[in-house]
Amino acid sequence: MSHIRVRRQNNIVWLVLDRPPLNILSIEMLDQLSDALRDAARQKPRLVVVMGAGERAFSAGVDVKDHLDGREKEMLRAVYDNCAAFEEARAQKVPTVALVKGYALGGGCELAALCDTIIAHEDATFGLPEITLGVLPPVAAAYFPALIGSNATMRLMLTGETINAREAFSLGLAHQVLPARRFLPDAEELLAMLAS
């Protein structure tokens, strides 16, 4: 069963993380997303948009079960391949945008940050809580220093704290924050401008 819904509209490909309510990322789902992104990039759309189904979360992270019982190497392989898929889209000059509503935590926050642009709902929450499980987030360690600087990266990684959309914007993690009452219409208008 696929947990990634794909739709194309006006030369924009939408990849929807479809495992509500929190869109938790499993190994299988990461592989499906990597495949869908590569397929989308081959179509040469003007834009690829990644978003979460439902209202509660873009994605609240990676499935903890996939970090246990010998699945760690397979999880790291899926994460690495997902990063590679985003790098390939970038090399093909296919821009990616994350539309973030609700929680973007752990692997979900890292996934959003792999996109070229993050458009956040004003009530979005970002964070890297992996430290509370005794691990460090590998994608954040590699990508976040160039995005938000070393100090902010270390703060988020080592405290596990969450930040709101406005603070994410001030750090450079989010690139646009849109009001709740018109989030989707305003986001679609912005995406149409980016795609033109």
In a domain, 71, yes or no: yes
Domain count, the chain: 1
pLDDT of residue 32: 98
- pLDDT for 52 equals 98
Q: Is 33 contained in some domain?
A: yes
Which CATH number does the domain housing residue 91 bear?
A: 3.90.226.10
| Within-domain flag for 87 | yes
* Displacement of CA 2 from its chain's centroid (Å): 18
pLDDT tens digits for 93-122?
Answer: 999 999 999 999 999 999 999 999 999 999
User: pLDDT at position 134, please?
Assistant: 83
User: Is residue 14 within 8 Å of 2, Cβ to Cβ?
Assistant: no
Enumerate residue ranges in the chain where pLDDT < 50.
none
- pLDDT tens-digit profile of 140-167? 999 999 999 999 999 999 999 999 999 9
Q: What pLDDT is attached to residue 196?
A: 84
The whole-model pTM stands at 0.96
- In a domain, residue 196? The reply is no
User: Is residue 50 domain-resident?
Assistant: yes
Quick check: bond before 21 cis, omega within 30? Answer: yes
Euclidean distance between CA atoms 55 and 94, whole angstroms: 27
Residue 183's domain comprises 4-191
Residue 99's pLDDT is 98
Alpha helices in the chain (DSSP H): 27-42, 72-91, 107-114, 138-148, 150-159, 165-171, 183-195
The whole-number pLDDT of residue 65 equals: 79
Residue 81 lies in a domain: yes
Note whether residue 128 is domain-resident. Answer: yes
